[in-house]
Structure 1
Amino acid sequence: MPAKSKSQQKAAGAALAAKRGDIKESDLKGASRSMEKSMSEKELRDLASTKRKGKPEHARDGR
């Protein structure tokens, strides 16, 4: 499943780094913290690998 916005892609990348042990879980904030706890490494990798070009900075709620 591709990321819908640049911010979602960045949060997934941070969560993936924490899940792999590259950064501390305590350094995560907001969406990346909940993503790290609730998603598998494969799901995070899929979101984080989405290209940013053409994506809005933030996705609108309800769309």
Structure 2
Amino acid sequence: FFVIMAAGGLTARNGQDMIILKLLDEEQGAFWVSGVFYASGLLVTFISSAYLKKIDMVSY
């Protein structure tokens, strides 16, 4: 969570969006975006597995 917040703080600062992508060339920008998506996917995976364990306690 803190990594994603830090990445968001670096990409949107002083009212300017995506400062990091403007500083990088095309290949480095693609690597940065894919890394952020990969990290957010890992975060969603671990959070969803924690929620799926609690679904058994819900009665319909």
Q: Which has the higher strand share?
A: 2
Q: Which has the higher helix share?
A: 2
- Normalized against structure 1, the TM-score is what? 0.34
Structure of greater relative contact order (alpha carbons < 8 Å, 6+ residues apart): 1
- Normalized against structure 2, the TM-score is what? 0.35
